Amino acid sequence: MSEPTISQRLRELGIVLPAASEPAARYANYVIANGLLFVSGKGPSGHPKGKLGHAFTTEDGYRFARLAGIETLAVVQSAVGSLDNVKRVVKVQGFVNAVPEFEEHHKLLNGCSDLLLDVFGDKGVHARPVLGAVSLRDNLPVIIDSIFEVAAAE
């Protein structure tokens, strides 16, 4: 029996990818260089505003990171035509808009990491730093940027 396609996995997980969001300023949504796809920072859909540890809990942040991951996957799909063209997830970097006392950055970024593992299986294992920030654009609670190894779009 053959491995399910990424589209089949998304259906099984109940995930419908939105249209790729546009950049918030003067930069590219993504860049492909030497088989690597660099996706610009993506925040959660719905554009929630506020800081972790004040307006939002770690559980809220987990959900926001998952939503930012879904936004990222929409950009990847638009860049390479199909998520089946992803050879592996290389790196996910999270920026968390948090109060200075917040210490659970790593737990909330699992929202994105868990999504990528669910969607890509072993190809979803990635390197991952997460940083706290005093502020983020539009007062978003989390922004995620990422790097994927990709095959040429067919």
- Summarize pLDDT for 63-102 with one digit per residue, the tens: 999 999 999 999 999 999 999 999 999 999 999 999 999 9
Which one-letter amino acid corresponds to residue 44?
A: P
User: What region, left, alpha or beta, does residue 81 occupy, with left being phi > 0 and alpha being psi -120 to 50 degrees?
Assistant: left
pLDDT confidence band for 24 (50 / 70 / 90): confident
Exposure letters 59-71 (e unless 16+ CB within 10 A, then b): ebbbbbbbbbbbb
Residues in a beta bridge with 147: 38, 91
List pLDDT tens digits, range 97-124: 999 999 999 999 999 999 999 999 999 9
Give the pLDDT band (50/70/90) at residue 153: low
* Single-letter amino acid code for the residue at 22: E
**Superfamily name and number for 30-150:** RutC-like (3.30.1330.40)
